[in-house]
Amino acid sequence: MKHFHLDEFAQMDTFFHRIDPRAKTVTTLVFIFLAAGVKTPALLFATAFFWILLLIFAQIPLSYIFSRITWVIPFAGIMILIFPFIKPGETLLHVNLWVVTLTATKEGVREAVMLFGRVLASILAVLFLTLTTRFNYLLKALAELRVPAVFLQLLEFTVRYIFVAMDELKRMRRARKARAFVAGKNIWHLHTLRTLGQLVGSLFIRAYERGERVYLAMLSRGYTGKMKTLHDFRMMPKDFIWTVLVLGAGIVLVILDRRGL
């Protein structure tokens, strides 16, 4: 089975990959927090361009960056589309839908553009963090930043074993086809609905049993819930410089926004 590899680009050896994961995590989260309060569309898109430049300097292909964005942007797309029609203000245009006429406002369009800019900048920042940091290093950095262990374990096991569940689902679908199963024309077809219910139930039981086996196997190998890596984190001068520069850029962004630039 072929799956999306989390550390596909995190194994590279560039300046950005060598920055301490704790420094990258803190600066990325703080920068996202600061950018969320920006109210100037031009500054938001400048922020997104800033992260794109960092990703390019980290040798991440542009095609890969945009492919990741297309997976996330649609989740915010609904709000971006309806904002122009729910925000009161100066009328910009009318959209006639036969039974109802929608009115888009200038203020609504501005809010939609700002939302798109915030989502885009945040996604690019998270992409920079995850694409330049190995997954186990990122979890260890979060652990050292005192994120509760239960959340980290849920995240780790979800990411690690979701692909196992996908493989199991593909094998079950292949088995159904081998037994000449033919789906109905829609999901409400009785036989199709019954089969899907059995599939979900069987997948849940298999995942539960596998989880127990994996957990017991981990305990037998000395698992204590702590994140362990072969590399110990150590803040170097370049890490402090990176932290100061990125947080400084975030503060400048907020200052420019407050001055209306």
> What is the full DSSP assignment across 180-208?
T----SSTT-HHHHHHHHHHHHHHHHHHH
The string of pLDDT tens digits covering residues 149-159 is 888 888 888 87
What are the tokens at 259? 């001055």
* SS3 label, residue 148: coil
The candidate with the shortest Cα–Cα distance to 69, out of 52, 50, 83, is: 52
pLDDT at 147: 84
The string of pLDDT tens digits covering residues 232-247 is 788 888 889 989 988 8
Q: Which residue spans within 127-251 are E strands per DSSP?
A: none
* SS3 label, residue 221: coil
Q: Name the DSSP letter for residue 102.
A: E
CA distance 92 to 103: 7
For the chain (length 261 residues), average pLDDT per consecutive 10? Answer: 63 88 90 85 88 91 84 72 76 72 78 85 90 87 85 81 80 80 66 76 82 84 72 84 88 84 58
CA distance 70 to 68: 5
> Token match 């088995």: residue?
175
